[in-house]
Amino acid sequence: MSRTLHLALHPYGVGGPGQHGLWKDPRVAKNASIDINYYIAQAKAAEHALFDALFIVDSQFINSTYPAHYLNRLEPLTLLSAVATHTRRIGLVGTASSTYNSPFNLARRFASLDHISGGRAGWNVVTSFDTGTSKNFGLDEHLGYSTRYGRALEFVQVARGLWDSYEDDAFPADVERDVFLDPAKLHALDHEGEHFRIAGPLNLSRSPQGQPVIFQAGVSEEGRDLAARVAEGIYAPGGSLHQAQEYYADIKSRTASYGRDPEHIKIFIHGGPVVAVTDEAARRREQEIFEEDNDFGRNLALLGRSFGAYDFSGHDLDAPFPDVAHLAEKGGRTGAAKLIERAKAENLTLRQVAESVSEFRRSPFVGAPTTVADTIERWFAAGTFDGINLAFRNNEDLELFVDGVVPILQKRGLFRTEYEADTLRGNLGLPVPANRHTREPQLVNG
Q: Is 80 exceeded by the pLDDT of residue 334?
A: no
Residue 352: per-residue pLDDT: 92
- Give percent above pLDDT 70 in the chain: 97
Beta bridge partners of 320: 349
**pLDDT tens-digit series, residues 369-384:** 999 999 999 999 999 9
What tens digit of pLDDT does each residue of 340-363 get?
888 899 999 999 999 888 888 889
Domain end residue (candidates: 311, 327, 357): 357
Considering the domain architecture, whether residues 368 and 349 belong to the same structural domain is answered as no
What is the pTM assigned to this prediction?
0.93
Examine the fold and report which residue of 357, 375, 392 is the final residue of a domain before the chain moves on. 357
Amino acid making up residue 44 = K
Distance (Å, whole) CA 165 – CA 140:
35
Same domain, 373 and 318: no
Q: Are residues 216 and 313 in the same domain?
A: no
Give the pLDDT band of residue 445 (cuts 50, 70, 90): very low
**Residue span of the structural domain in which 318 resides:** 295-357
Mark whether 313 and 338 lie in a shared domain. yes
318 with 206, same domain? no
CATH of the domain at 102: 3.20.20.30
Q: Is residue 1 part of a domain?
A: no
290 found inside a domain:
no
Together in a domain, 299 and 403: no
Query: Does the residue 289 lie in any domain?
Result: no
Report which of 221, 256, 254, 214 is spatially closest to residue 235, judged by C-alpha positions. Answer: 214
Q: Contact 113/123 with Cβ under 8 angstroms? A: no
pLDDT tens readout for residues 239-273: 899 999 999 999 999 999 999 999 999 999 999 99
Question: How many independent structural domains does the chain possess?
Answer: 2
What percent of the chain has a predicted confidence (pLDDT) above 90? Answer: 78
Based on the fold, state whether residues 147 and 237 are members of the same structural domain.
yes
Angle at 242 between CA 240 and CA 246, to 5 degrees: 115
Q: How many CA atoms lie within 13 A of 94 on its CB side?
A: 27
Residue 302 binned pLDDT confidence (cut-offs 50, 70, 90): confident
Alpha helices in 265-368 (DSSP H): 279-293, 296-305, 325-328, 333-346, 350-357
Whether the pLDDT of residue 156 is over 50: the answer is yes
The mean pLDDT value of the chain amounts to 93
> Does 322 share its domain with 377?
no
Specify which of 160-169, 218-227, 319-328 reaches the highest per-range mean pLDDT. 160-169
